[in-house]
Chains A and B, each alone.
Chain A
Amino acid sequence: MGLIVEAVLKIVVVFGVVLTFLAYLALFERKILGWIQLRYGPNRVGPWGLLQPLADLLKFLFKEDVRPTTPNPILFSLAPILSLVPALMTYAVIPFGDRIELFGREITLYITSLNVGVLYLFALSGLGVYGIVIAGWASNSKYSLLGGLRSAAQMISYELALTLSVVGVLIQAGSLDLVEIVRAQSGTYFGIIPKWHAFWYQPLGFLLFFIAAVAETNRVPFDLPEAETELVAGYHTEYSATKFAMFYVAEYANILAVSALATTLFLGGWNGPGVERVPLLGVFYFGAKTAVFLFIYIWLRATLPRFRYDQLMRFGWKVLLPLAFANIVFSSVMALVA
């Protein structure tokens, strides 16, 4: 009984914090974009625009839900749900910290640790495609359909590179469990350099993972599924009000999830100086490392132009994929030598 209460409480806390953070991630993105483009960004609602997410939320909830004439109203409504649910399910296995003592009991700072954690995440990212594809198809609009098709092709292509870039980490850590992978990265080399996978011997895997992750989340410069100059808004052209908000949240949820995953797999997760004595510090380190990725995501959006579609495909299949294979061979050799 106590175990169930603990699990439910943890789920409520994690989802509460994550969903609030996602709302603010949208604000931070607009603020940072504003600074990079030498303007203020949102600054009217509340001090420093801090109440902007709340205003956005209210606006999304109270707007009229415009529906296109479509032969598939059920699929049309189902698509945003199919897009949002897998995105949120990823947070069940992400380790935010190690474990702390609270009220005399030991509490782990993650909802659960699966012995197939990494595969579970890839399964969810594979399921995320359905929401977008079905949205594109059920909207009964050519822009949506083209956006959905592009997105399906892009996500299948880059999912391969994403998955294969992680295999090196799995070889080095010897586990599929995210908690074990973080544990494998504790300690330092020569007392200075942290034993993070990104430093040794997965720098190539890290780079490949990050590029593939940007493509997998449909972000600039890989945001062809919603290229506004060609496709209006791609798969969510026909969506409005709450349903649009769900796509929006799903996109940010995916960005946060891959950033957290990159931190976990390559940057040592909660590891940092002093974590052994004060485990709660781990959550801070984890958050700080993830924030760096989030900033780079936004930075990329403000800096880079969009790829052309054939460039995107060629890059995925002829550059990223062979490099990922090379990284697996290299990691296997290193694992044998070490």
Chain B
Amino acid sequence: MERALFLIFAVTAIGAALNVLLRRHPLHSALALLVMLGALTGFYVLLGAYFLAVIQVVIYAGAILVLFLFVIMLLNVRAEEARIERRPYVRWLAVPFAALLGAEIIYLVRVFEENPSPSGTSVGVTEAVGRELLTTYLLPFELTSILILIAVLGAVVLARRERR
């Protein structure tokens, strides 16, 4: 049962991810990304990490992706416009990044060992996540919040400058 669900989610995720890249219209890409996020949520649920699963939907699907859609619709980006390539050399950057990703995947497959499924443990439960964030990972957690604060301030500065 778990394996079958995993396969369904995996195929959906990969198919949707390919759609994100291959679709010409930015709106279709964004919707494919939504499907991808949904499949990823399925993985989290299978792992027993309910908190992460729900937060993933709230933040990415519920907030960030809606903003993507909003911008695409507001600017009315058309399929042709999106395809204009301003800097052709950017395309060649794909080669080193693909190589890096490939190396990572090979490394992971080699070090992978059959772990007992962590479902049933309390890794992804709200309390466990909160405790870890505020003890073990306190410094990165606080640094992230400072980063977000800077981003908020930046947005306010940019918005105010426009009005003048």
Contacts A116-B50, A116-B126, A149-B73 known; A126 to B66 CB distance under 8 Å?
A: yes
Interface size on A, residues (CB 8 A): 26
- Closest A residue to B52 using CB positions: A116
Contacts A115-B126, A137-B73 known; A159 to B62 CB distance under 8 Å?
A: yes
- Closest A residue to B126 using CB positions: A176
Query: Which A residues lie within 8 Å of B58 (CB)?
Result: 119, 122-123, 126
Quick check: B50 and A156 within 8 Å, CB to CB? no
Quick check: A123 and B62 within 8 Å, CB to CB? yes
Asked whether A114 is an interface residue with its Cβ less than 8 Å from the other chain, the reply is yes
Query: Which A residues lie within 8 Å of B50 (CB)?
Result: 114-116
Asked whether A130 is an interface residue with its Cβ less than 8 Å from the other chain, the reply is yes
Query: Which B residues lie within 8 Å of A176 (CB)?
Result: 126
- Closest B residue to A114 using CB positions: B50
A128 to chain B, nearest CB (A): 9
- Closest A residue to B72 using CB positions: A137
CA distance A80 to B57 in the complex (A): 20
Contacts A123-B62, A149-B74, A153-B70 known; A115 to B57 CB distance under 8 Å?
A: no
Of listed B34, B54, B74, B126, residue having the most chain A CB within 10 A: B54
Contacts A116-B50, A122-B58, A149-B73 known; A129 to B66 CB distance under 8 Å?
A: yes
- Closest B residue to A136 using CB positions: B73
Query: Which B residues lie within 8 Å of A145 (CB)?
Result: 73
Quick check: A129 and B73 within 8 Å, CB to CB? no
Q: Number of contacts between A and B (CB, 8 Å)? A: 62
CA distance A143 to B69 in the complex (A): 17
Query: Which A residues lie within 8 Å of B55 (CB)?
Result: 119
Asked whether B40 is an interface residue with its Cβ less than 8 Å from the other chain, the reply is no
Asked whether B67 is an interface residue with its Cβ less than 8 Å from the other chain, the reply is yes
B69 to chain A, nearest CB (A): 5
| Chain B contacts with A in 19-69, Cβ cutoff 8 A | 27, 31, 34, 50-51, 54-55, 57-58, 61-63, 66-67, 69
Asked whether B125 is an interface residue with its Cβ less than 8 Å from the other chain, the reply is yes
B160 to chain A, nearest CB (A): 14
CA distance A155 to B61 in the complex (A): 13
Query: Which B residues lie within 8 Å of A133 (CB)?
Result: 66, 69-70, 73
CA distance A130 to B60 in the complex (A): 13
- Closest B residue to A71 using CB positions: B25
Query: Which A residues lie within 8 Å of B54 (CB)?
Result: 116, 119-120, 123
B130 to chain A, nearest CB (A): 11
CA distance A125 to B58 in the complex (A): 9
| Chain A contacts with B in 132-188, Cβ cutoff 8 A | 133-134, 136-137, 145, 148-149, 152-153, 155-156, 159, 176
B164 to chain A, nearest CB (A): 19
Quick check: B73 and A127 within 8 Å, CB to CB? no
Query: Which B residues lie within 8 Å of A75 (CB)?
Result: 31
Query: Which B residues lie within 8 Å of A152 (CB)?
Result: 66, 69-70
Q: Closest 4 interchain pairs by CB?
A: A126-B62, A123-B57, A119-B54, A123-B58
Listed in ascending order, the chain B residues whose CB lies under 8 Å from chain A are: 27, 31, 34, 50-51, 54-55, 57-58, 61-63, 66-67, 69-70, 73-74, 125-126
User: What would 15 more interface pairs be, CB under 8 Å, given A123-B61, A145-B73?
Assistant: A114-B50, A115-B126, A119-B54, A119-B58, A123-B54, A123-B62, A126-B62, A127-B57, A127-B61, A127-B62, A130-B66, A130-B69, A133-B73, A149-B73, A156-B63
Task: Pull 23 A–B residue pairs with CB atoms less than 8 Å apart, ordered by A.
Answer: A114-B50, A115-B50, A115-B126, A116-B50, A116-B126, A119-B54, A122-B62, A123-B58, A129-B62, A130-B34, A130-B66, A130-B69, A133-B69, A133-B70, A137-B27, A137-B73, A149-B70, A152-B66, A152-B69, A155-B66, A156-B66, A156-B67, A176-B126
